[in-house]
Amino acid sequence: MTYVLAYDVGTTGVKTCLFTLEGRITLCASAQEGYGLCLLENGGAEQDPEAWWRAMCRTTGELLAKTEVRPEQVSALSFCSQMQGLVLVDREGRPVRRAMSYMDQRAGAELKRGLAHGPQIAGANVGKLLKCLRATGAVPSSVKDPVWKYKWVQAHEPECFARTDKWLDVKEYLLLRCTGRAVMTEDSAYATLLYDTKKRAWSQALCRMFGVHPAHLPPVVRAADRVGGLTDRAAAELGLPSGTPVFGGGGDASLIGVGAGAAAVGSTHIYCGTSGWVSTVTDRQLVDVDAMIAAIVGAQEGRYNYFAEMETAGKCLEWVKDHLALDEIGVYLEKREVTGGQEAVYASLYDYLTETVEQCPPGSGGVIFTPWLHGNRCPFEDPAAAGMFFNIRLDTGKRALIRAVLEGVCFHLRWMLECQARKAPTSDPVRFVGGGALSAVTAQMLADVSGRTVETVASPQNAGSVGAAAVMAVGLGVVPDLDAVGALIPPAAAFTPNPANRAVYDRQYAVFRRLYAANRAHFRALNG
């Protein structure tokens, strides 16, 4: 039996999954541990890299103990992780400061100095925009792009910057911790928007243009490459044998599509976890500067993921849980025994909230919610954008508000899907994964709002880990390439649009699309 460990390193915690690779990828068991996200008043969002590692170690031990799998039976480990973070380490591999999350948006001044000056197109200097497009096919025009985080540290924390030896992302820090080797997988390298996709090398021209030290950029490897084996220290802390192979893995934007069974060219998947996105596989690079959509390097060589992202998707439901339905949830937990750990509690709560939503008719009585609780990225970039309920009346109840939150997330996903379809053929059906796909109510709502057939897979919340397991299957020679994995991930359920609901949603969607433009100046006045 071939066992592998896949670590899904997200914004809120690490989920460790044990798979077997015998004919198909089969989940044996999982364990998870959460950690905090430090949100700062200046727009910063940071995490402690040590918290990621501690969570990895504890969940590994927990998983092996409850499955009774011997450590020496584990053939390999790899990662699926959040992307576009900034982890700066010194020569000993120690972080020089806390990691800056993909959500960090404090580098507005650095973006303006570095890109948003002189004659501009879509907020970017014309000359620099063209240089970026020629090298990478995309432009670092978001305040949250890693290069501006790098420049922020350089400008505001010169002592930390002076101690920096390597620029890493989340997964790359953990690869370093495991193997002692500093590398970046190709998808993470591309996410810096300093990687020349034609030359498949760091762009020296872009480094010079943005003032990035080339020595800070590590060697680039592919997802299925063996980075190294566990060091003695890492092995002892994880409870695994020294030398256990460690494969590169990928970011969530690369591997979740693989784990969704949407790896073929033209396949579209929608993810709803803490964040949300729409992604379509292409065999060429595309960019829509106006809509903030670009084709990013995928886990498979020669494939790209045409990718549109929203900052807060499932995070909106968490906000509902904490602030809008807290009393109901307290009563619910008192009346119902939930066993199976924290994940089971979350799943049960999600079921409860979606059951509550089902009691309210489609359209939420005309109430519309904008899911921009931490700014927005696509199809418009605005860190000042915020959430709001629109069209509340005296007879509006809490159930309508909760349903409006879910509908607002679906409206925004439809908006991004339509923007993608302008430049790339999107698929029908679409695959739907992430925690949001656990609910049949949400899946049907997405089908009704989008007008597409929506397919879910078994364990949609583990799609990233399945993708990491697929990478290891390739690296270990179990399957020849990632294309061979798609047939092993069939749909578990399909949801077709309800025409009556679609008519309601079409009317509200038209209003939803206009709400940002109508309130942009107000967001800036209050939050800019």
Residues 131-166 have pLDDT tens digits of: 998 999 888 988 999 999 999 999 999 999 999 999
List all residues 6 or more positions away from 428 whose beta carbon is below 8 Å from its beta carbon: 452, 453
Query: Can you give the pLDDT at residue 495?
Result: 98
Gap between the Cα atoms of 431 and 266, Å rounded: 12
- Looking at per-residue confidence, does 372 or 330 come out higher? 372
Q: Is residue 259 part of a domain?
A: no
Q: Is residue 39 part of a domain?
A: no
Q: Is residue 438 part of a domain?
A: yes
- Looking at per-residue confidence, does 340 or 308 come out higher? 308
Place of tokens 């607002």: 408
For residue 332, pLDDT over 90 is answered with no
Count of beta carbons in the 10 Å neighbourhood of residue 482: 22
Q: Is residue 423 part of a domain?
A: yes
For residue 120, pLDDT over 80 is answered with no
**Mean pLDDT score of the chain, rounded to an integer?**
91
Query: Can you give the pLDDT at residue 345?
Result: 53
For residue 341, pLDDT over 70 is answered with no
Q: Is residue 300 part of a domain?
A: no
Q: State the alpha helices, DSSP H only, in 168-307.
A: 170-179, 186-191, 204-210, 232-238, 252-259
DSSP-derived letter for residue 320 is: I
* Global confidence as pTM: 0.83
Provide the domain limits for residue 357.
310-456+498-527
pLDDT-based confidence at residue 333 (cuts at 50, 70, 90) = low
Q: Is residue 30 part of a domain?
A: no
Query: Can you give the pLDDT at residue 327?
Result: 66
Residues 472-482 have pLDDT tens digits of: 999 999 888 88
Query: Can you give the pLDDT at residue 481?
Result: 83
Q: Is residue 156 part of a domain?
A: no
DSSP character string of 8-67:
EE-SSEEEEEEEEESSSEEEEEEEEEE---EE-TTS-EEE-HHHHHHHHHHHHHHHHHHH
For residue 168, pLDDT over 80 is answered with yes
Residues 228-275 have pLDDT tens digits of: 999 999 999 999 999 999 999 999 889 999 999 898 889 999 999 888
Query: Can you give the pLDDT at residue 427?
Result: 95
DSSP-derived letter for residue 331 is: H
Average pLDDT (58-76) is 96
Q: Is residue 511 part of a domain?
A: yes
Q: State the alpha helices, DSSP H only, in 269-428.
A: 314-319, 326-335, 342-358, 398-421
> How many domains, in total, are found in the chain?
1
* Stretch (H or E) spanning 137: none
CATH assignment at residue 373: 3.30.420.40
